[in-house]
C-alpha cells in the first residue's frame, strides 16, 4: 500500500558511489613530494571559491600515472577523504562493451550521480582501456569505444573549472592516451607515481603495521631491503601474511622473522608459473636440497631462511637463501675455513647428482654452482690461502700458473669429497626434502629445520682441510 508506493518512488541509490570510505593522506606512505601536488587537489575542493576569485582555473581531470599497486586508487580515495567529498569509481574496462551505446550510457550515469552528489571525486581506473588513441582499434569495437570516449570528453568538459566534480584517472600507459583526453581543461595535469624506493618501502610497511600487534624491535629496514621491486600492494600483503604466520604459531606479536618469511613468500607469489615435468621438478629439488643440507653443517651458512624451486622471473632455477653475515662478507672477514665451506656448498649439487642419478646419468643442472666453486677455489689459492702456499709473492710468476690450477683442483676435490660424505649421511633427510619441495615448491625456515630435526645427521665438527 502506502509504504510500497513510497519505496517505488524513492530515489535510486547511486550505483557507482563508494560509501563509508575513510582514507586519509596518512594512510598513503612513501610519496615524498607527490603528496604536495595531491594536497593542492584537495584545496580545489576546500578553497574552490578562492581559486575562482583569483581567476585560477581548476583542472577538470588529474591523471595518476604509474604501475599497478603503487597506490593510485588509494590516493584518489585519500583526496576525497581529506576534502570530505563523495567518491564515485569505475574501471574503464567496464565501459568497453560490445553493444554500441552501453559504455556511453554508463559514463553518463556515472557523471550524473557524481553531479547530484557533488562535491565529488570521480575515479576512473585503467583509463587507457577506453582512452587509447582513436584509430588504434578497428571494427565495431572501435566504434563503440569512440562513442564512449566522446561521452567522457563531453562530461569532462561539462565540469571544467568549477571544482565541484573532479575526475581522477589512473593509467600505466599515459603514452598511448588519445590526445583529446590530455588537452587543456581535461586531463591536463599528470602526476607520476613511481615504485617506492628503499625508504618508501619501509614507510609503507610501517603504515600497514599500525593496526597490527608488532614486536617492539621489528627491523623494517631489513624487510624493505629484501623487498626490492615491490609496490605498496605487495608490502601490504607481507604484513597480512606475517600476521597469519604469527596466529598459526600461537604467538601474540609479529616479528622481523615473520615479515622476512612473508617477503620471501610474496616474492615467490609474483613469479611466473611454469610447466615442468616431474623429472625436472625432482632434479631442481635435489639441487636446492643438497645445498641446504650441506650448508646447515657450517657456521657461516647454517642460518637457512628459505628454500624454493619455484621459477623466478628471469631465473630458471630455484634458490636457497642463507642469512649471511654481510658485514663479515663485505669486509672480507670470512675465515679460511668458511671460504672452504662455501666452496663445499657450491659443490653439493654436483655431488647429489652423482649419488642420486649415478655417474653415467649426470645432468648439467649443477653447472652454475660448480663454476662458482671453481672460481672460488682459484681465488682461494691465488689469495695465498691454501696451506701449501702462504704469501702471495711466489704466485706472480707465469710458470706457476699450472701449479695454481693443480692446487685449486686439490681444494675442489677435498671439498667435493666432503660434500658427498655429508649428503650420504643425510640420505633420509634429502629424500624427505625432495618430496616436500616437489609438493610445495618451497620450504620455510621452520619447515626445513623441522625436517632436519626428524632426519638430519649433522657434522659434529668442521674437519680441517
Ligand atoms: P593502484 O591503484 O596503483 O593499482 P592501489 O591503490 O589499488 O594501487 O593499491 C592497493 C593497496 O596497496 C592499497 O589499498 C594499499 O593497501 C596498498 N598500498 C599501495 N600503495 C600504498 C602506499 N603508498 N602506502 C600505503 N599503502 C599502499
Grid cell of 171 as nine digits: 593509467
| Dist. CA 343–CA 376, nearest whole Å | 7
> How far apart are the CA of 235 and the centre of ligand 1, in A?
9
Average pLDDT over residues 151-156: 90
pLDDT single digits (tens) 112-125: 999 999 899 999 99
Q: How many contiguous H segments (helices) and E segments (strands) does the chain have?
A: 18, 8
Q: Are 217 and 256 in contact (CB under 8 A)?
A: yes
Sign of CA dihedral 278, 279, 283, 289: positive
Reported as half-sphere exposure (CB side, CA atoms, 13 A), residue 361 has a value of 8
- From 74, 90, 239, mutation site for ligand 1 pocket: most ligand atoms within 8 A of C-beta: 74
Ligand 1 atom, smallest distance to 31 CA: 23
% the chain with pLDDT above 70: 82
Q: What is the pLDDT of residue 392?
A: 53
The pTM (predicted TM-score) of the whole model is 0.61
pLDDT single digits (tens) 336-364: 888 899 999 999 999 999 999 887 777 77
Q: How confident is the model at residue 202 (pLDDT cuts 50, 70, 90)?
A: very high
266 in catalytic set:
no
Instruction: Read off φ and ψ for residue 76, nearest 5 degrees.
Output: -60, -40
Q: Is 233 in the pocket of ligand 1 (CB under 6 A)?
A: yes
Q: Which residues contact 48 (CB under 8 A, 6 or more apart)?
A: 58, 162, 163, 164
Q: Which residues contact 304 (CB under 8 A, 6 or more apart)?
A: 292, 295, 296, 320, 321, 322, 323, 445, 448, 449
Q: At what angle do helices 401-425 and 367-382 cross, to 10 degrees?
A: 130
pLDDT at 7 over 60: no
Q: What is the pLDDT of residue 369?
A: 84
Q: Are 443 and 305 in contact (CB under 8 A)?
A: no
> How far apart are the CA of 232 and the centre of ligand 1, in A?
5
| Dist. CA 190–CA 173, nearest whole Å | 12
| Dist. CA 213–CA 305, nearest whole Å | 23
Q: What is residue 360's three-state secondary structure?
A: helix
Instruction: Single out the catalytic residue among 113, 288, 407, 436.
Output: 288
Q: How confident is the model at residue 316 (pLDDT cuts 50, 70, 90)?
A: low
Instruction: Read off φ and ψ for residue 36, nearest 5 degrees.
Output: -60, -40
Instruction: Read off φ and ψ for residue 191, nearest 5 degrees.
Output: -120, 125
- Structural element, H or E, at residue 192: strand 189-192
Range in 57-66, 90-99, 296-305, 420-429 with the lowest mean pLDDT: 90-99
> How far apart are the CA of 20 and the centre of ligand 1, in A?
18
Name the residue at shortest CA distance from atom 5 of ligand 1.
71
Q: Is the peptide bond before 119 cis (omega within 30 degrees of 0)?
A: yes
Amino acid at each position: 500500500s502506502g509504504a510500497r508506493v513510497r519505496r517505488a518512488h524513492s530515489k535510486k541509490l547511486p550505483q557507482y558511489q563508494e560509501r563509508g570510505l575513510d582514507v586519509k593522506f596518512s594512510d598513503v606512505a612513501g610519496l615524498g613530494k607527490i603528496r604536495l601536488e595531491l594536497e593542492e587537489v584537495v584545496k580545489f575542493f576546500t578553497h574552490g571559491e578562492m581559486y575562482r576569485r583569483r581567476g585560477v582555473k581548476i583542472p577538470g581531470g588529474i591523471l595518476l600515472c604509474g604501475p599497478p599497486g603503487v597506490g593510485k586508487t588509494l590516493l584518489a580515495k585519500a583526496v576525497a577523504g581529506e576534502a570530505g567529498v563523495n567518491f564515485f569509481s569505475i574501471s574503464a574496462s567496464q565501459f568497453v562493451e560490445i553493444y554500441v551505446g552501453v559504455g556511453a550510457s554508463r559514463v553518463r550515469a556515472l557523471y550524473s550521480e557524481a553531479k547530484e552528489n557533488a562535491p565529488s571525486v570521480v575515479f576512473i581506473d585503467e583509463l587507457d582501456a577506453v582512452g587509447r588513441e582513436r584509430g588504434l582499434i578497428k571494427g565495431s569495437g572501435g566504434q563503440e569505444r569512440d562513442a564512449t570516449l566522446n561521452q567522457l570528453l563531453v562530461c569532462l568538459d561539462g565540469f571544467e573549472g568549477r571544482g565541484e566534480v573532479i575526475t581522477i584517472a589512473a593509467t600505466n600507459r599515459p603514452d598511448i592516451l588519445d590526445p583529446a583526453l590530455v588537452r587543456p581543461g581535461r586531463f591536463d595535469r599528470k602526476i607520476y607515481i613511481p615504485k617506492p624506493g628503499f625508504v618508501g618501502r619501509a614507510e609503507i610497511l610501517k603504515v600497514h603495521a599500525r593496526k597490527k600487534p608488532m614486536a617492539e624491535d621489528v627491523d623494517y629496514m631489513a624487510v624493505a631491503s629484501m623487498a626490492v621491486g615491490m609496490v605498496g600492494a605487495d608490502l601490504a600483503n607481507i604484513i597480512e601474511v606475517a600476521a597469519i604466520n604469527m596466529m598459526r604459531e600461537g604467538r601474540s606479536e609479529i616479528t622481523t622473522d615473520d615479515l622476512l618469511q612473508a617477503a620471501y613468500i610474496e616474492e615467490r607469489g609474483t613469479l611466473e608459473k611454469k610447466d615442468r615435468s616431474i623429472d625436472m621438478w625432482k632434479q631442481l629439488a635435489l639441487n636446492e636440497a643438497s645445498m641446504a643440507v650441506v650448508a646447515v653443517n657450517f657456521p657461516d651458512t647454517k642460518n637457512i631462511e628459505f628454500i624454493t624451486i619455484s621459477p623466478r622471473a628471469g631465473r630458471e632455477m630455484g634458490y636457497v637463501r642463507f642469512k649471511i653475515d654481510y658485514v663479515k662478507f663485505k669486509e672480507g672477514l670470512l675465515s679460511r675455513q668458511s671460504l672452504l665451506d662455501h666452496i663445499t656448498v657450491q659443490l653439493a649439487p654436483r655431488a647429489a647428482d652423482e649419488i642420486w642419478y649415478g655417474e653415467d646419468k649426470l645432468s648439467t643442472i649443477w653447472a652454475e654452482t660448480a663454476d662458482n666453486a671453481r672460481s672460488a677455489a682459484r681465488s682461494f689459492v691465488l689469495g695465498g690461502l691454501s696451506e701449501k702456499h702462504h704469501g702471495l709473492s711466489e704466485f706472480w710468476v707465469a710458470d706457476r700458473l699450472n701449479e695454481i690450477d693443480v692446487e685449486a683442483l686439490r681444494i675442489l676435490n677435498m671439498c667435493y669429497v666432503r660434500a658427498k660424505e655429508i649428503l650420504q649421511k643425510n640420505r633420509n633427510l634429502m629424500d624427505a626434502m625432495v618430496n616436500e619441495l616437489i609438493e610445495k615448491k618451497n620450504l620455510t625456515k621452520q619447515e626445513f629445520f623441522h625436517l632436519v630435526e626428524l632426519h638430519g645427521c649433522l657434522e659434529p665438527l668442521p674437519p680441517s682441510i
